A = this chain, B = another copy of it.
Amino acid sequence: MKRDKPKYKQIVDAAVIVIAENGYHQAQVSKIAKEAGVADGTIYLYFKNKEDILISVFREKMGIFAENVKEIIEKEITATEKLSKLIDNHFSLLYNDRHLAIVTQLELRQSNKELRSQINEVLKEYLMLLDSILKEGIEQGEFDRDIDIRLARQMVFGTIDETITSWVMNDQKYDLMKLAPEVHRLILKGMIG
């Protein structure tokens, strides 16, 4: 499996750095190859084309988000606590990889419809895990039984996403982690409190 070879990871990691530092449209294959320390042609031994590099970046990195959330779900804690941990995890992973944060929140969104629809496929798994937490919370009586799961999911994800994007666009100059509890509180109790 190509995905297990060291060069595959080398190239994916190089792509994150190059995109973060140069922007999506200035991330030429030759730059990624140079950053990864391989020849241009070597890229094409591991990836079908440039788009394939980008979707792989997303798949590899977002995969970690989903894996962590799976572990969270299996814990014996309340849905409220699971939601809190999901938010913490989401914030934490991007807080600790500044390059990745720039790539996911800003740069990869410049990609074309084709690529974004593939990215959405990857996101879907994550959103379904989020849904399962919401369902559990409703069943356990923690959350309002009348909420529309789809809308609630969009509120949760939309709020997280907007919060991180703002943080990135403000050059990551404040402490994102400190916002997590309040985000959690807002989502659960709303603005009325």
A interface residues with partner B (beta carbon < 8 Å):
23-25, 106-107, 109-113, 116-117, 120, 134, 137, 142-144, 146-148, 150-152, 154-155, 157-163, 166, 169, 179, 182-183, 186-193
Contacts and interface: CB of A to CB of B under 8 A. Distances in A.
Contact of A24 (B112, B163, B187, B191): B112
Contact of A192 (B106, B113, B120, B188): B188
Summarize A's interface: helix, strand, loop or mixed. helix
A163 B158 CA distance: 8
A177 to B, nearest CB: 13
Contacts of A162: 154-155, 157-158, 161-162
B183 A144 contact: no
A155 B159 contact: yes
A182 B144 CA distance: 12
Nearest to A23: B113
A124 to B, nearest CB: 11
A161 B158 contact: yes
A186 to B, nearest CB: 5
A179 to B, nearest CB: 6
